[in-house]
Amino acid sequence: MVENSFISSLIVRLGVVKGFGMKVSRLAFRMWYYFRLGYTTYLTFLLGFATTLVTVYYLAITNIPALRDVFPHFLWFAIIALVIGVPVSCLLGWFHMKGSALYSSEVDISVEANPYLYKIQPGYWQEAFTPLYLELLRGMKAMLEKQGMLSKEDKERIEDIEKKLATLIKGGYVGAMRVRKFDAEP
C-alpha cells in the first residue's frame, strides 16, 4: 500500500495526472525535459568530474616522475584538485554571470524564445488579475466619458488596450515576438 501511495504521489508531482490525464506527447516532452535536466545537471557532472580526476591522475601524473613525487596517491591529488578546482570554478561562474556579456546573451535568447512574454500565464493572471484590469479600465473609461474628460485619442488608446487585454484573456498573443537577425549588429 505504501508503494502505491508513493507512486501515485510521484505521478501527481510529475504532472502526469491533472484532472484525469495529460496528453501522451505532453508527458513525453516533460519526461524528456526532466531526463535532460537530471542527466546534465547531476549525473553527467559527477561522472565527468570523477572521470577527469581519474584520467589526469593515471594517464598523466603517474607517467611523469616529478608529478608522481608530488602526488604519490590518488586521494591526495583528488583533495588538492577539489581545493583548487572549487574556488576556480566559482570564479568562472561569477565571471559568466556578472563579469562578462555571456549571461546577458543567454537571457536575450531566452527572452526571444519565451512565449509568455507575449501572452498571459495560465492561472490566476488569466482567470483573475487580467479580467480585473480590463473591468477597471472599462469602468474608468465609462466615468471619463460620462464627465466629458475623454479625448478622441485617449479613447482610441484605451480601446486598443481593451482589445489587447481581451485577446490575452482568451489565450492569444499580443505584440510582435522579437527575432534577432544573425547578420545585424546586437
Q: Structural domain boundaries of the chain?
A: 2-100, 116-169
C-alpha 164/C-alpha 173 separation (Å) is 8
Rounded (10°) CA dihedral 123, 155, 160, 169: 20
> pTM here?
0.53
Look up residue 64 and give its amino acid: I
Q: Any idea which residue has 479625448 for its cell?
A: 151
* Nearest C-alpha neighbor of 26 from the set 16, 13, 34, 35: 16
Query: Over its length of 186 residues, how does the chain's per-residue pLDDT go in tens digits?
Result: 445 566 556 555 655 555 445 577 788 888 999 999 999 989 998 999 999 999 999 999 999 999 999 999 999 999 999 999 999 999 999 998 898 888 888 888 887 777 777 888 888 898 999 999 999 999 999 999 999 998 999 999 999 999 999 999 998 888 876 655 654 554
